[in-house]
Amino acid sequence: MRLVIARCSVDYEGRLKAHLPLATRLLLVKADGSVLVHSDGGSYKPLNWMSPPATLRVIAAEGTQLDEGIVEQWTVQSAKTDDRLIVNIYEQLHDSSHELGIDPGLIKDGVEADLQRLLAEQIETLGPGFTLIRREYATAIGPVDILARDANGGTVAVELKRRGDIDGVEQLTRYLELLNRDPLLAPVRGVFAAQQIKPQARVLATDRGIDCLTLDYDAMRGVDDADSRLF
């Protein structure tokens, strides 16, 4: 990894064009040839970048470039597409390289998959007498998060989200439409379950006869821990 602080201007050409006027920025060159251009604020997204795999070619400035104050030009070329990032460097204020090695990677807990596992284990959260048919029930248009049976033996399709948005209701609607064509399953009703359900999504779901269920991940994890302690 190479870290350069420089006064520079940056141009990107590829899926779109983008230009960064002259200013002082961090240029981060990774081992795979990718380059990130960061300012001293904003979120984790760089101002501009080149995704790996890419190759960095550095050439000394000459002619009119020198007259404009450019000392060096970087061309970062994507190996797979014809995307290009061109960095004109006017002054280098810092330059250091470091060996980092391969990263073991991130371990996550609390994503949708965890929520799904917990809800499947605690299926009666949906209502008394509910039983799990299966998680990730496969259909032609994608997997239904949870398929269950209610106390009356009716089939219930559950769409699970961390944040319940209109998109999720649309997704569940498509699944329900398909599932209800299957005479062995029909009638199938829907439950839209999320940690937080947006008002518009709730209105749309209710309008389509889909039940909404707000989930408390911490409480469900608490039950899970309590269960684990019993065995």
| Binding residues for a copy of itself (CB under 8 A) | 1, 3, 5, 15-21, 23-26, 28, 30-32, 34, 36, 38-49, 51-52, 93-94, 96, 98-111, 141, 162, 167, 170, 200
User: Which listed option, DNA, a copy of itself, none, makes contact with residue 83 (CB within 5 to 8 Å by class)?
Assistant: DNA
* Measured distance CA(26)–CA(94) in Å, rounded: 9
CB of 182 to DNA, least distance (A): 18
Q: What is the DSSP string of 41-94?
A: SSSSS-SEEEPSSEEEEEEE--THHHHHT--EEEEEEESSSS-EEEEEEEEEEE
CB neighbour list of residue 207: distance below 8 Å, 6 or more residues apart: none
CB of 139 to DNA, least distance (A): 9
CB of 12 to a copy of itself, least distance (A): 9
| Closer of 55 and 62 to DNA (Cβ) | 55
CB of 173 to a copy of itself, least distance (A): 9
Task: Give the CA distances from residue 122 to residues 6, 119, 132, 183, 219, in Å, rounded to whole numbers and listed in that order.
Answer: 55, 5, 9, 28, 11
User: Which listed option, a copy of itself, DNA, none, makes contact with residue 98 (CB within 5 to 8 Å by class)?
Assistant: a copy of itself
* Measured distance CA(211)–CA(193) in Å, rounded: 8
CB of 108 to DNA, least distance (A): 6
Would you tell me which residues interact with DNA (CB under 7 A)? 12, 14-16, 18, 42-45, 48-51, 78, 83, 85, 105-106, 108, 111-113, 138, 141-142, 145, 160-163, 165-166, 168, 171, 198-201
CB neighbour list of residue 115: distance below 8 Å, 6 or more residues apart: 160, 162, 195, 215, 217, 220
For the beta sheet containing 142-149, the strands, ordered from the edge strand earlier in sequence to the opposite edge, are 131-139, 142-149, 155-164, 188-197, 211-214
User: Which listed option, a copy of itself, DNA, none, makes contact with residue 138 (CB within 5 to 8 Å by class)?
Assistant: DNA
User: Which listed option, a copy of itself, DNA, none, makes contact with residue 78 (CB within 5 to 8 Å by class)?
Assistant: DNA
